[in-house]
């Protein structure tokens, strides 16, 4: 009789519990033990900003199942059938003897635990910038229920009022909403000259930043935080250009993979951090698996690139399943990540999947982009909101390379479709052919993603001569461009681009085309530039060569517009 | 010099205007004329129920562009560059001379109009059942702004209070919501024994019907309407089983393709109606195109089947583009339809894409199904709602065959992903690998569609032994099944299945397994049957063979449950 398979899991959030639970369902006789140095495990860290915002009042909700049972060691033992040891730190892995040297953080007792298969799921830790004042009181991170719980308590106890958030990534933006909604004054400082650096292209980030500012969030972009000021507690934040008053600092400048234990045991890691794994989440030691925030991933979109570190709860859960399946002898390869990300800021969504334009450029791909704007539902249906979509496709085969979305409309739906199309290698024609669910409460007759694919196809076919907003602004400010506004008189009276324009409503353009110069560059636009594109085609037909349109029109314009009437 | 291409378009809603507009952008010199026998054109018929509901107050909104410009003949001439003749009926097509004989319905004048390319976009018309009383006053259809406008006016003028809707398809359900929200008493009579026949399988329809009834809509299923009663106006509706009092009847028993003109001109049509077209929307006459509600379509999902009639504004718009592209010499094939449909009923969505189980059975495919229930967002995030998903996959290659969704959660997003996966030939592993956008306001860490694919994979792998709710009910009512409720004591005190059950919370199951019989069939369940599945695995490991779980649990249970506390 063989002894049962011994599986040791290090790490009790997302990947670890997922792997252990699944494994016990697949191989009930396996002896599975999960250890974690913390006293609480299996919490939903992604929910922390929403607890701070006050959308639920008990932080323990994040460690409960949907029916309110707390995921304690007892829960896992009783309901899932494996042992959980909290306050138990793994100090070293001996791969030769297949043991992990662990320490009980309460008793101080140390011992060796044997394994047949080892699962590394230590997660990540927030990067702690090496700047003066980083240890001052009232400095927070936001990756653990303790952080959120103490933040809420101290805001109330101390009456904190002015928050400076360092870093405009996902957590920075979610926390900007959370603290603003709690009534604090919120400033976000970001070293790069855009929000969501590495996630959105600068043009989409600039468009999204406009909305954050409209909601009262102060954005300080392109400034590096050099110190937190204060005697014992935070009184301000110094950047390389200014001092910002603050009584609360939140550091959200990224997560780092907790790979030290693996590194010390000779497990291969990426140079910049993160355990290297194959498609079954195996490390270079086939008996050692790793997943979640302590590993690096590959992009599934078909373009070679370096492994990358992207910490996401969704990926961590997938890894857990892949690991359990492989240990159980039912291997299911992990395809990789789609570089998908989404974040809500108030009533606004920012999202991305696949390659950004910056990445496509860096990879030296032959690509084309479009920026499209329009409503997410028919205009007559209440609650419709605008969406701005940036779509990137290969010129060679018209496959979809990436999509970015921003706006108050339903971006999440189009994001997931784009992620699916990229995974399955689909192109612009495929997007146009998807039979999207159509009814007025959900979508216009042609889904925005399909319409956007149409416009990009038109651009690749040489029919639509669109100019991105950033390029348009540069052309306008360099002079010598005739700006042609083809909106209705009523629209023209409501808001305008803050430049000299020629205003000819589209319906009058055929008869008034002769009023426009053929020897100058014309840049047409309307609310979303559907009519801007039509104006280009009408003028082309009337013999104009030098006519293009501003992609996304006024709705997609990332800079200031001139409101003509007070709202 | 050659004379310009003459294109004649018959029909002014969706396909016709779309084809004409696009064609003028592609071939500005083409002479395009659109005729329609109606006096208003290019209206958003799908919005009619929402006008009746009162979500917007001016029915003309449906013939306006998003910026409020009415789509009149003048609009199309000025802004789009083609001529529109309303009140102009096409009486006959002479394909040999390439002329259409038309009649001006105001002047009575008849004449021939020549064409190089002809576009048939006559749309469809509501089926008018040949029953006594069908011409009584206060009988409505709902396919034209006039219908909606007069319905609203007459409800108010006559104080109509009791509506009987004949047909529980999309329009019937949308109108049930609309009239209920207006305060009317609403009864829907459907000849088939389920709502949305041909759209949802009976199990999903039964689940959805429960919600409609909860909202106060009376459903009379499996009864055929035999007559409308009344002297001059509707006083009631007779079915083959009863008389239902009514002062308003709305007939929504389907649309028929308006293909008579084509048929008479020797254009090939399907036996049951609808013009036959190729992937470029060409008829058997290569100079005659057809699209929209007057044609039949093919399914893009890869299984051979007869052409089918599905009238949808989304498809009509796609056809318009395909027609224009082909006429312009830039052919882009239409992939077909995905049989996607979605309908909102109050705060509830019902949707489907791909094959139903009934279709898969009829096609004699080797398939497996799963019914899954769960929340669309993390339980701690406000506004999350339940979703029930039925997923159908091929046993042979595990490709996705179809998905049906119902619930208060965000079904539309998962529907569109499923439609994309089917178009691109993806399978269950692909769905599990999609990098869905994850943040708490949008999704749980593992998207419901991915989780559902996992469970179906478990079922195909022989791990998860699920029983559909309908089959479960039959097994329970036949006796000899031990129903095992593994929910928490608190859940057990709130609601139950209305049968004798053994209640053992999951956490106690390992220690209490010996209380269960090994010689009887055990059917485990919980709120959504995640724990039901775990119970099956725990009992399997304890030596139980005859144990299965109820798919979808209590949330997905389409029949009555027993509420233990008054809410």
What average pLDDT does range B340-353 have in this prediction?
A: 98
Compute, in degrees rounded to 10, the torsion defined by CA atoms A174, A175, A180, A181: 70
Residue A91 vs residues A11, A261, A294, B215, B499: alpha-carbon distances, Å: 13, 7, 16, 59, 53
Average pLDDT, chain B: 97
The reply to whether A166 falls in a domain is yes
Question: Percentage of residues in chain B with pLDDT exceeding 70?
Answer: 99
The reply to whether B414 falls in a domain is yes
- pLDDT tops 60 at residue A566: no
pLDDT band at B397 (very low <50, low <70, confident <90, very high): very high
Cα separation, A532 vs B363, whole angstroms: 48
Number of residues that this document lists for chain A: 567
Distance from CA of A440 to the nearest CA of B (A): 6
Q: Which residues of A touch B398 (CB under 8 A)?
A: none
Chain A residue closest in CA terms to B492 = A67
Instruction: Output helix, strand, coil percentages for chain B, rounded to the nearest 5.
Output: 30, 25, 45
Please answer whether residues B11 and B120 qualify as being in contact, where contact means their C-beta atoms are separated by less than 8 angstroms.
yes
Cα separation, B17 vs B123, whole angstroms: 12
- pLDDT tops 90 at residue B537: yes
Distance from CA of A420 to the nearest CA of B (A): 6
DSSP string spanning A18-57?
HHHHHHHHH-TT-EEEEE-SSSS-S--GGGHHHHHHTSSS
pLDDT band at A304 (very low <50, low <70, confident <90, very high): low
Residue B22 vs residues A459, B27, B122, B328: alpha-carbon distances, Å: 14, 9, 18, 9
Inter-chain touch B380–A61, beta carbons under 8 Å:
yes
Q: Are B270 and B356 in a shared domain?
A: no
Instruction: Name which of B266, B356, B258, B358 is nearest B309 in CA terms.
Output: B258
pLDDT of residue B566: 57
Inter-chain touch B432–A318, beta carbons under 8 Å:
yes
Q: Are B557 and B490 in a shared domain?
A: yes
Q: Which residues of A touch B434 (CB under 8 A)?
A: 338, 416, 419-420, 423
Please answer whether residues A373 and A455 qualify as being in contact, where contact means their C-beta atoms are separated by less than 8 angstroms.
no
Instruction: Name which of B423, B461, B314 is nearest A331 in CA terms.
Output: B461
Nearest by CB: A337 against B50, B375, B435: B435
Cα separation, A280 vs B407, whole angstroms: 35
| CATH code of the domain in which A489 resides | 3.40.250.10
The reply to whether B341 falls in a domain is no
Nearest by CB: B445 against A317, A381, A463: A317
Residue B483 vs residues A49, A132, A350, A501, B470: alpha-carbon distances, Å: 41, 64, 46, 74, 15
Nearest by CB: B445 against A313, A334, A425: A313
**Dihedrals φ, ψ of A149, to 5°?**
-65, -45
Strand, helix or coil for residue B362:
helix
Domain that holds residue A521: 466-563
The reply to whether B478 falls in a domain is yes
Strand, helix or coil for residue A367:
strand
Average pLDDT, chain A: 97
Chain B residue closest in CA terms to A50 = B381
Please answer whether residues B233 and B433 qualify as being in contact, where contact means their C-beta atoms are separated by less than 8 angstroms.
no
Q: Which residues of A touch B382 (CB under 8 A)?
A: 55-56
Inter-chain touch B445–A506, beta carbons under 8 Å:
no
Chain A residue closest in CA terms to B442 = A412
Q: Are A182 and A269 in a shared domain?
A: no
The reply to whether B229 falls in a domain is yes
Q: Are B218 and B306 in a shared domain?
A: no
What average pLDDT does range B114-134 have in this prediction?
A: 97
Q: Which residues of A touch B79 (CB under 8 A)?
A: 506-507, 531, 534
Q: Are B63 and B47 in a shared domain?
A: yes
| Six token digits for residue B479 | 């006796």
ipTM of the complex: 0.97
Inter-chain touch A446–B314, beta carbons under 8 Å:
yes
The reply to whether A128 falls in a domain is no
**Dihedrals φ, ψ of A560, to 5°?**
-70, 145
- pLDDT tops 50 at residue B3: yes
DSSP string spanning A308-349?
B----HHHHHHHHHHHHHHHTT-------B---EEEEETTEE
The per-residue pLDDT for range B6-30, each reduced to its tens digit, is: 999 999 999 999 999 999 999 999 9
Q: Are A392 and A370 in a shared domain?
A: yes
The reply to whether A13 falls in a domain is yes
Nearest by CB: A416 against B342, B413, B506: B413
Helix intervals (H) in A197-346: 202-214, 260-264, 313-327
| Number of structural domains in chain B | 4
- pLDDT tops 70 at residue A567: no
Sort B192 into a burial class: Cβ within 10 Å, 0-12 / 13-18 / 19+: middle
| Six token digits for residue B394 | 């091929």
- Which of A286-295, A299-308, B199-208, B463-472 has the weakest average pLDDT? A299-308
| CATH code of the domain in which B184 resides | 3.50.50.60
- pLDDT tops 90 at residue A477: yes
Cβ neighbours for A168, distance < 8 A, ≥ 6 positions apart: A188, A189, A190, A192, A194, A195, A196, A197, A219, A221
Give pTM, 2 decimals: 0.97
pLDDT band at B302 (very low <50, low <70, confident <90, very high): confident
Q: Which residues of B touch A50 (CB under 8 A)?
A: 380-381, 440-441
Cα separation, A87 vs A291, whole angstroms: 21
pLDDT of residue B2: 75
Distance from CA of A43 to the nearest CA of B (A): 12
What average pLDDT does range A463-469 have in this prediction?
A: 97
Q: Which residues of A touch B487 (CB under 8 A)?
A: 67
**Dihedrals φ, ψ of A475, to 5°?**
-65, -45
The reply to whether A336 falls in a domain is no
Q: CA torsion sign, B292 to B294 to B298 to B299?
A: positive
Q: Which residues pair with A351 in a beta bridge?
A: A342, A405
pLDDT band at A1 (very low <50, low <70, confident <90, very high): low
User: Domain boundary at B224, B253, B282, which?
Assistant: B253
- pLDDT tops 90 at residue A565: no
Neighbours of A429 (CB within 10 A): 14
User: Domain boundary at A273, A295, A327, which?
Assistant: A327
Q: Are B302 and B360 in a shared domain?
A: no
| Six token digits for residue B183 | 């305060």
The per-residue pLDDT for range A313-365, each reduced to its tens digit, is: 999 999 999 999 999 999 999 999 999 999 999 999 999 999 999 999 999 99
Q: Are A148 and A223 in a shared domain?
A: yes
Q: Are B118 and B264 in a shared domain?
A: yes
Please answer whether residues B136 and B228 qualify as being in contact, where contact means their C-beta atoms are separated by less than 8 angstroms.
yes
| CATH code of the domain in which A432 resides | 3.30.390.30
Question: Percentage of residues in chain B with pLDDT exceeding 90?
Answer: 97
Inter-chain touch A436–B416, beta carbons under 8 Å:
yes
Q: Are A249 and A267 in a shared domain?
A: no
Cα separation, A559 vs A561, whole angstroms: 7
Q: Which residues of A touch B279 (CB under 8 A)?
A: none
Q: Which residues of B touch A67 (CB under 8 A)?
A: 487-488, 490-491, 527
Helix (H) or strand (E) holding A480: none
pLDDT of residue B567: 46
pLDDT band at B559 (very low <50, low <70, confident <90, very high): very high
Chain B residue closest in CA terms to A74 = B507
Residue A97 vs residues A100, A112, A116, A277: alpha-carbon distances, Å: 9, 10, 10, 22
Chain A residue closest in CA terms to B445 = A314
pLDDT band at B496 (very low <50, low <70, confident <90, very high): very high
Question: Percentage of residues in chain A with pLDDT exceeding 90?
Answer: 97
The per-residue pLDDT for range B178-235, each reduced to its tens digit, is: 999 999 999 999 999 999 999 999 999 999 999 999 999 999 999 999 999 999 999 9
The per-residue pLDDT for range A44-99, each reduced to its tens digit, is: 999 999 999 999 999 999 999 999 999 999 999 999 999 999 999 999 999 999 99
Q: Which residues of B touch A341 (CB under 8 A)?
A: 437
What average pLDDT does range A8-13 have in this prediction?
A: 98
**Dihedrals φ, ψ of A25, to 5°?**
-75, -35
**Dihedrals φ, ψ of B543, to 5°?**
95, 10
Place of tokens 């389409």: B558
DSSP state of B80: I
Q: Are B279 and B244 in a shared domain?
A: no
Q: Are A146 and A116 in a shared domain?
A: no
pLDDT of residue B389: 98
Nearest by CB: B344 against A439, A490, A510: A439
Neighbours of A303 (CB within 10 A): 14
pLDDT of residue A480: 84
Instruction: Name which of B137, B209, B201 is nearest B173 in CA terms.
Output: B209
User: Domain boundary at B236, B253, B270, which?
Assistant: B253
């Amino acid at each position: 009789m063989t002894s049962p398979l011994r599986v040791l899991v290090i790490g009790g959030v997302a990947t670890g519990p997922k792997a252990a639970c699944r494994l016990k369902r697949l191989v009930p006789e396996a002896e599975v033990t999960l250890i974690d140095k913390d006293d609480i495990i299996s919490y939903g860290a992604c929910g922390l900003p929403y607890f701070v915002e006050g959308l639920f009042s008990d932080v323990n909700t994040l460690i409960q199942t949907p029916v309110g049972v707390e995921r304690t060691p007892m829960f896992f033992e009783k309901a899932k059938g494996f042992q959980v040891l909290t306050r138990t730190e793994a100090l070293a892995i001996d791969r030769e003897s297949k043991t992990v040297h662990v320490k009980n953080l309460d008793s101080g007792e140390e011992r060796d635990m044997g394994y047949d298969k080892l699962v590394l799921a230590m997660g990540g830790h927030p990067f702690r910038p090496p700047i003066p004042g980083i240890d001052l009181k009232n400095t927070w991170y936001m990756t653990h229920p303790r952080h959120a719980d103490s933040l809420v308590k101290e805001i109330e106890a101390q009456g904190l009022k002015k928050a400076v958030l360092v870093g405009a990534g996902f957590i920075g933006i979610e926390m900007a909403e959370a603290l603003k909604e709690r009534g604090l004054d919120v400033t976000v400082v970001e070293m790069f000259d855009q929000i969501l650096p590495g996630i959105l292209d600068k043009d989409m980030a600039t468009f999204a930043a406009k909305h954050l500012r409209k909601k009262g969030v102060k954005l300080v972009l392109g400034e590096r935080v050099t110190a937190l000021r204060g005697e014992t507690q935070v009184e301000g934040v110094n950047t390389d250009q200014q001092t910002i008053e603050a009584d609360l600092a939140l550091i959200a400048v990224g997560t780092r993979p907790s790979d030290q234990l693996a590194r010390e045991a000779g497990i291969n890691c990426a140079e910049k951090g993160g355990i290297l794994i194959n498609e079954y989440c195996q490390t270079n030691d086939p008996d050692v698996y790793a997943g979640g925030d302590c590993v690096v991933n590959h992009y599934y979109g078909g373009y070679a690139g370096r492994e990358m570190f992207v910490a996401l709860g969704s990926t961590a859960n997938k890894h857990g399943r892949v690991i359990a399946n492989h240990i159980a002898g039912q291997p299911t390869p992990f395809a990789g990540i789609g570089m998908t990300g989404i974040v809500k800021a108030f009533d606004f969504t920012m999202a991305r999947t696949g390659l950004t334009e910056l990445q496509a450029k860096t990879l030296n791909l032959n690509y084309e982009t479009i920026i499209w704007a329009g409503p997410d539902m028919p205009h007559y249906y209440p609650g419709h909101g605008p969406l701005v979509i940036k779509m990137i496709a290969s010129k060679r085969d018209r496959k979809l390379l990436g999509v970015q979305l921003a706006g108050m409309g339903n971006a999440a739906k189009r994001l997931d479709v784009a992620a699916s199309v990229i995974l399955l290698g689909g192109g612009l024609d495929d997007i146009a052919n998807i039979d999207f669910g159509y009814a007025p409460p959900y979508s216009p007759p042609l889904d925005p993603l399909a319409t956007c694919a149409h416009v990009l196809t038109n651009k690749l076919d040489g029919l639509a001569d669109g100019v991105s907003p950033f390029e348009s602004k540069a052309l306008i400010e360099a002079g010598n461009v005739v700006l042609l506004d083809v909106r209705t008189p009523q629209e023209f009276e409501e808001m305008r681009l803050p430049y000299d324009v020629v205003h000819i409503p589209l319906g009058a353009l055929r008869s008034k085309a002769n009023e426009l110069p053929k020897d100058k560059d014309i840049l047409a636009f309307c609310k979303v530039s559907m009519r801007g594109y039509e104006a280009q085609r009408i003028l082309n037909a009337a013999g104009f060569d030098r006519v293009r349109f501003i992609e996304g029109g006024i709705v997609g314009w990332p800079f200031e517009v001139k409101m003509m009437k007070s709202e």
